């Protein structure tokens, strides 16, 4: 493709993306197509001759857009957010434009050094333990996802527990991993990939706020030791997927220290809240962790994929993952003066992902990041207030961050009706969980474009779909736009 053609097409595409972001709220939030619809619109065979970009872009409108669920829509309240922003889009574009592959420092020094630098910046921005900084024995790296970060933590813990035996004969036989029943599914996947097997993962009970019971952890470790097994890693969650419960990090960390067990903290979603000094209380005890991850690609305005992963002892991680073939040997690596991030992750190759994080931090500034996260926490608290003040509904879990879990009183059926009705409306998308074996609706407030108006519309729609509850007089509209409370 000649450069002038590229320039013209690229301008057209950037215009398209800008218009999309401007109008994203006008699309039905959830893709409206049946399974197989998208493929049915596509030709069975690839084109023999080159096609003009204008035709391809027209097909994006005709075929792709109807099959897209609009994660950036102000009405998107499902799962956890997957923030996108102008600076991050441009950072990704630049990464693709440079087209570097940063597996070694020497394959593109800027790719490695910018990554090290912005991860140190994140330590400062989030008030994380100094032991995660690159000028200590630890350091940070960008992984593709929290699932990958959880896997890396399990692999490093496994090697650490077995004195780095896998370079000789393999490991995994009697090792035990621990998390709570609300730990993310990626932890079980990581344990399986690491060769421990699901039966070597202990899912510990939680307290009434859905956080790990630390006493149950200590008891289980004692039982496993008595059975001749080797506790290897505890994964605590800072903001569980179902409810954003925070496991008691300090109590768990102290048990791990005493027992000599690797302590990993999964802060995939809620970790971004640490940009706010007033939220740091939730991170108490993080300094006891051997490793930690959180996802700027969830709630910190940085397009997927960008997980910040930190360790306090980088040598353990590197020792667990290094294999050096002759064809990758080079003077910089041999000097010991550089970081080669290929030794900190599963794949060899890596994109220049630090660019988007750098753009985001610089273009929003720390103040902008704080404003973004604080606004969502305030919106979620407002919504929770409306729900709590309606006798027909209950907020069923603490909501320290941007997620509110609630139920209409009266059983699963009416809650399923509400969920289906909202998702069919095209105006919203929400997902659910089960708490105490009851269907629970989750509202994850986190799209950059979501406003108080959107929450008002949502709350109104919930009550309209549910209708008045038999036996209880629910005052329609009583909580809308009256006094200081909408
Ligand atoms: N850990 C927790 C607590 C999560 O909530 C999630 C996803 O929501 C993950 C891990 C997996 O995140 P990723 O998509 O980055 O792998």
43 Cα–ligand 1 center, Å: 35
Q: What is the distance in A from the centroid of ligand 1 to the CA of 75?
A: 21
- Sheet of 431-435, strands arranged across: 393-395, 403-408, 438-444, 431-435
Residue 168's pLDDT is what?
61
Spatial contact of 448 and 85, defined as CB atoms under 8 Å apart = yes
Say how far apart CA 404 and CA 387 lie, in whole Å. 10
Round to whole Å and give the CA distance between 267 and 300.
Answer: 13
> What is d(CA 172, CA 283) in angstroms, rounded to the nearest whole number?
31
Q: How does the average pLDDT of the chain come out, rounded? A: 93
Q: How far is the CA of 120 from the centre of ligand 1 (A)?
A: 22
Name, in order, each residue with C-beta under 8 angstroms of 285's C-beta and a sequence gap of 6 or more. 248, 249, 250, 251, 252, 253, 254
Q: Is the CB of 295 under 6 A from ligand 1?
A: yes
| Tens digits of residue pLDDT in 327-345 | 999 999 999 999 999 999 9
Question: Which of 80, 142, 147 for mutating ligand 1's site (highest number of atoms within 8 Å of CB)?
Answer: 147
Instruction: Confirm or reject: Cβ of 184 under 6 Å from ligand 1.
Output: yes
Q: To test the ligand 1 pocket, which listed residue (210, 235, 241, 405) has its Cβ within 8 A of the most ligand atoms?
A: 241
Query: What's the confidence (pLDDT) of residue 467?
Result: 85
Mean pLDDT of 361-373: 98
The confidence band for 1, taking pLDDT boundaries of 50, 70 and 90, is confident
Structure tokens at 173: 């036989």
Those residues whose C-beta lies under 8 Å from the C-beta of residue 455, and which sit 6 or more positions away, are 379, 382, 383, 445, 486
| pLDDT greater than 70 at residue 261 | yes
Distance from C-alpha of 251 to C-alpha of 258, rounded to nearest angstrom: 11
On the question of pLDDT at 135 being above 70, the answer is yes
CA of 372 to the centre of ligand 1 (A): 20
Asked, as a colleague might, if the bond just before 30 is cis with ω within 30 of 0, I would say no
Nearest partner of 308 among 280, 338, 267, 347, judged by Cα: 267
Q: What is the pLDDT of residue 172?
A: 64
pLDDT confidence of residue 197: 84
Number of other CB atoms surrounding residue 208 within 10 Å: 8
Q: CB of 377 closer than 6 A to ligand 1?
A: no
In ligand 1, which atom is closest to the CA atom of 238? 3
Q: Is the CB of 186 under 6 A from ligand 1?
A: yes
* Closest residue by CA, ligand 1 atom 6: 268
Relative to beta strand 393-395, strand 403-408 is antiparallel
- Cβ count near 342 (within 10 Å): 24
Distance 452 CA to ligand 1 centre (A): 26
**Atom 10 of ligand 1, nearest CA residue:** 146
Contact 244, 279 (CB under 8 A): no
Q: What is the pTM of this model?
A: 0.93
How confident is the model over 191-213, as pLDDT tens digits? 999 988 888 999 999 999 999 99
pLDDT digits (tens, 9 = 90+) for 60-90: 999 999 999 999 999 999 999 999 999 999 9
Judged against a pLDDT cut of 60, whether residue 473 lies above it is answered with no
């Amino acid at each position: 493709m000649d450069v002038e053609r590229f320039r013209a097409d690229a301008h057209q595409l950037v215009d398209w993306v800008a218009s999309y972001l401007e109008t994203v709220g006008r699309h039905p939030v959830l893709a409206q197509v049946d399974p197989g619809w998208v493929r049915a619109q596509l030709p069975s065979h690839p084109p023999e001759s080159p096609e003009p970009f204008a035709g391809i872009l027209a097909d994006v409108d005709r075929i792709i857009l109807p099959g897209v669920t609009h994660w950036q829509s102000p009405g998107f309240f499902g799962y956890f957010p997957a923030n996108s922003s102008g600076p991050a889009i441009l950072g990704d574009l630049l990464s693709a434009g440079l087209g570097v592959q940063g597996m070694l420092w020497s394959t593109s020094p800027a790719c490695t050094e910018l990554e090290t630098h912005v991860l140190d910046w994140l330590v400062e921005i989030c008030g994380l333990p100094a032991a995660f900084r690159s000028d200590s024995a630890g350091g940070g790296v960008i992984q593709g996802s929290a699932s990958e970060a959880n896997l890396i933590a399990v692999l490093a813990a496994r090697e650490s527990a077995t004195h780095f035996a896998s370079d000789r004969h393999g490991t995994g036989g009697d090792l035990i991993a621990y998390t709570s029943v609300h730990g993310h599914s990626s932890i079980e996947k990581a344990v399986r990939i690491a060769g421990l097997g699901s039966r070597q993962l202990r899912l510990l009970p939680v307290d009434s706020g859905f956080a790990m019971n630390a006493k149950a952890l200590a008891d289980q470790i004692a039982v496993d030791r008595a059975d001749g097994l080797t506790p290897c890693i505890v994964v605590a969650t800072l903001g569980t997927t179902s409810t954003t419960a925070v496991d008691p990090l300090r109590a768990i960390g102290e048990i791990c220290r005493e027992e000599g067990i690797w302590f990993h903290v999964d802060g995939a979603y809620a970790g971004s809240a640490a940009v706010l000094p007033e939220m740091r209380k939730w991170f108490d005890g993080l300094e006891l962790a051997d490793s930690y991850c959180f996802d700027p690609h969830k709630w910190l305005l940085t397009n997927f994929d960008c997980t910040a992963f930190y360790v306090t002892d980088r040598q353990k991680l590197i020792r667990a993952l290094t294999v050096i073939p002759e064809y990758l040997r080079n003077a910089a690596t041999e000097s010991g003066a550089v970081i080669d991030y290929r030794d900190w992750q599963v794949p060899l190759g890596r994109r220049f992902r630090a660019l988007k994080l750098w753009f985001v931090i610089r273009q929003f500034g720390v103040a902008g990041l704080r404003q973004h996260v604080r606004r969502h926490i305030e919106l979620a608290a407002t919504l929770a207030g409306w729900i709590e003040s309606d006798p027909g509904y209950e907020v069923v879990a603490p909501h320290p961050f941007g997620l509110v879990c609630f139920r209409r009183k009266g059983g699963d059926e009416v809650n399923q009706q509400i969920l289906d009705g909202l998702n069919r409306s095209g105006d919203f998308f929400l997902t659910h969980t089960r708490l105490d074996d009851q269907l629970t609706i989750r509202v994850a407030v986190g799209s950059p474009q979501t406003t108080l108006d959107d929450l008002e519309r949502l709350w109104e729609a919930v009550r309209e779909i549910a209708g008045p509850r038999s036996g209880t007089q629910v005052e329609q509209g009583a909580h809308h736009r009256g006094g200081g409370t909408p």
